[in-house]
Amino acid sequence: MIKMVATDIDGTILGENFEFSPAVVDCVKELTANGVKVVLVTGRMHLSALKLAQKLGLKTPIVSYQGGLIKEQNGNTLYQKNLDSKRAKEVIKWAKENNVHINLYLDDVLYVENDDIAVRRYTGERYIPYEVCNFDDLEIKNVNKILAIDFDSAERVSGWVEILSKKMPELYIVKSTPYFCEVSNPEAKKSCAVEFLQNYWGLEKEEILCIGDQNNDIELLKAGGVAVAMGNGTEQLKQVADFVTDTIDNDGFVKAIKKYC
């Protein structure tokens, strides 16, 4: 019996229009009403994910920053794994030298050096505030993650993942969308967060369903007794799934829940 559903957000329950379909909203409400814990597990910052959790009427803790932070909605932190400050500075230096736009997250605040189209598109779609400043003026500590963005070239982003993984193999570096390269603490993985909540609530792995759509969800699916990939997911993700459901446009999340719950 499934007692916990750990779901990615973007591309899994939230479409390109950044709205939940009525079927998804109803499905989440029904799960909650039947005592199933629905947990959002996302690369987004906590502040952004919190708004979406509230839209869905969820009261459960939120997993943000790829698993680097688990926070209750009252602000209480259950789990936190920040990026090493020294490594964060090295990534910032690399980005400046290679003209790479990065979002820098410190204590759940988003900082950028340039108020350019990349950050305006990113934040506008997600309704989150940001601060513009010179990173040299910041104390680089309590780094949630660093996000490198190029909305014009998925190939360039893939190159960043390869380059940074070779330079810093001890970090968790993953492509979370075709245009996002995420750099995090090695224990800031969705699998680590789900395992924490599994122990926190005294659940068995078989009682957890995990669902996602991108390569950063590979770790998420590994943590579940039932691993579901969206029909619009990457081929790498589908290879580790127990079941490939329909696409987000066809409410694949809802169909997976009906099949297993």
Half-sphere exposure of 111 (CA within 13 A, CB side): 21
Candidate CATH numbers 3.10.129.10, 3.40.190.10, 3.30.70.2750, 3.40.50.1000; the one for domain 4-80+188-260:
3.40.50.1000
35-40, long-range: CB < 8 A, 24+ apart: 35/3, 36/2, 36/3, 36/4, 36/5, 36/261, 37/3, 37/4, 37/5, 37/197, 37/201, 38/4, 38/5, 38/7, 39/4, 39/5, 39/6, 39/7, 39/63, 39/194, 39/197, 40/7, 40/9
Domain ranges of the chain: 4-80+188-260, 85-184
User: To 5 degrees, how large is the angle CA 6–CA 10–CA 15?
Assistant: 120
- Rounded Cα distance, 88 and 82, in Å: 10
Per-residue pLDDT of the chain (261 residues; tens, 9 = 90+): 999 999 999 999 999 888 999 999 999 999 999 999 999 999 999 999 999 999 999 999 999 999 999 999 999 999 999 999 999 999 999 999 999 999 999 999 999 999 988 888 888 766 688 999 999 999 999 999 999 999 999 999 999 999 999 999 999 999 998 999 999 999 999 999 999 999 999 999 999 999 999 999 999 999 999 999 999 999 999 999 999 999 999 999 999 999 999
Q: What is the DSSP string of 47-86?
A: HHHHHHHHHTT--S-EEEGGGTEEE-TTS-EEEE-PBPHH
pTM comes to 0.92
Please, what CATH class does the domain formed by 85-184 belong to? alpha beta
